[in-house]
């Protein structure tokens, strides 16, 4: 009997590869105070790969935590894809917390590095 089960693991890496290749021309749109900006899923895939490579260069590997401190934008999507795809753990920090709270949470989680962009 034929099955409808996929023949590959459903991982963030495979979702990233599929989105970059099959839907590469589709756009990710980020709203800003000046309007909107967009980039293609293919660009998001390339930038996510560059981010993962950069994090590896900083020594991030295995199940280390990588914190993000960002708004809901294309750059945060790139981190959402890059960090788990490389085997690390994405730890999103709440931008509405105080500096002291964020410092405590990051230290308690033993975040390896943090990417921030406003």
pTM here is 0.83
CA distance readout (Å), 76 to 4, 5, 99, 113: 33, 31, 20, 15
- Check whether 118 has a pLDDT greater than 80: no
Model confidence at 52, pLDDT cuts 50, 70, 90, reads: very high
pLDDT tens digits, 28-39 = 999 999 999 999
What is the number of H-type helices and E-type strands within the chain? 4, 5
Domain segments of the chain as ranges: 12-117
CA distance 62 to 46: 21
Show Cβ contacts of residue 12 under 8 Å, excluding neighbours closer than 6 positions: 81, 84, 85
CATH code linked to domain 12-117: 3.40.50.980
CA distance 76 to 83: 11
């Amino acid at each position: 009997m034929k099955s409808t089960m996929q023949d590959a693991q459903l991982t963030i890496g495979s979702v990233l590869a599929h989105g970059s290749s099959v839907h590469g021309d589709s756009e990710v749109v980020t709203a800003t105070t000046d309007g909107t900006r967009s980039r293609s899923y293919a660009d998001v895939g390339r930038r996510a790969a560059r981010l993962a490579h950069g994090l590896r260069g900083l020594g991030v590997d295995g199940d280390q935590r990588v914190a993000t401190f960002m708004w809901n934008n294309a750059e945060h999507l790139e981190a959402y894809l890059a960090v788990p795809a490389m085997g690390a753990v994405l730890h999103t920090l709440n931008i509405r917390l105080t500096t002291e709270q964020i410092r405590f949470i990051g230290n308690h989680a033993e975040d390896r590095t943090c990417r921030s962009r406003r």
